[in-house]
Amino acid sequence: MKKVVNIASFAIIVFAGSVASAQIATGKSASTTLNVNLDNAYDIQVGQSSVSIDMKTPNHFQQGNDSGKQTGHVVVSSNTGYEVKVAAETELLNNGTAIPVSTVTVTPTLGAYKGAGTAPTVADVTLTQNALAVGTEKTIIAKNSGETKREYDVVYAISAEQANQYLNKTTGVYSTKVTYSLYAK
């Protein structure tokens, strides 16, 4: 038996107005006013568009299984502190047969910094393992400061305790769509 988790993402972008002023002088010296208009900006990307967890050996049904580490699975850029939340669109479905999506946990770990310059502090990041839920966003990443192109690695797992939920089911691919959302903190 095999389950496919499909991943989708979207970004929230906020714009605000800006102000400019002017100054000029002539003679032996002259000047201009240089303005930097700073506004909030956010972006979230998902590295792998499809992730699978195999449930096809006796060991999988006894001890559970996972997707293996999905390196750079969630990539966040934010000029402020942020939170990443995850939700499933449906239960795991296969031709009308459902398996609770809550049998799958999402575990984030800190990944690589792909932004420019020195990597910013990660002392203020909190990573939380959460089970997926339909239509309910669960916070898995919270960070108090912004950064650009911060990767998080993710493992999707079915625990030994949940593995029996996959017994007595028609073989095939059970899938759902998982959405990661980025919020300003």
List residues binding other proteins (CB under 8 A).
Answer: 11, 13, 15-16, 18-43, 77, 79-81, 115-118, 120, 145-149
Which CB, 41 or 93, lies closer to other proteins?
41
Q: Distance between CA 53 and CA 64 in Å, rounded? A: 10
Which CB, 80 or 162, lies closer to other proteins?
80
Which CB, 18 or 90, lies closer to other proteins?
18
**The pair of three-digit structure tokens given for residue 143, joined into one six-digit string:** 């960070």
Q: How far is the CB of 31 from other proteins (least distance, A)?
A: 5
Q: How far is the CB of 161 from other proteins (least distance, A)?
A: 40
Beta strands in 65-103 (DSSP E): 65-66, 70-78, 82-88, 92-94, 97-99
Burial 63-76 (b: 16+ CB within 10 A, else e): ebbbbeebebbbbb
Q: Which residues contact 77 (CB under 8 A, 6 or more apart)?
A: 41, 42, 43, 44, 115, 147, 148, 149, 150
Which CB, 34 or 167, lies closer to other proteins?
34
Q: How far is the CB of 84 from other proteins (least distance, A)?
A: 15
Q: How far is the CB of 105 from other proteins (least distance, A)?
A: 30
For residues 86 and 104, the answer to whether their CB atoms sit within 8 Å is no
Which CB, 64 or 111, lies closer to other proteins?
111
Q: How far is the CB of 178 from other proteins (least distance, A)?
A: 22
Q: Distance between CA 124 and CA 118 in Å, rounded? A: 16
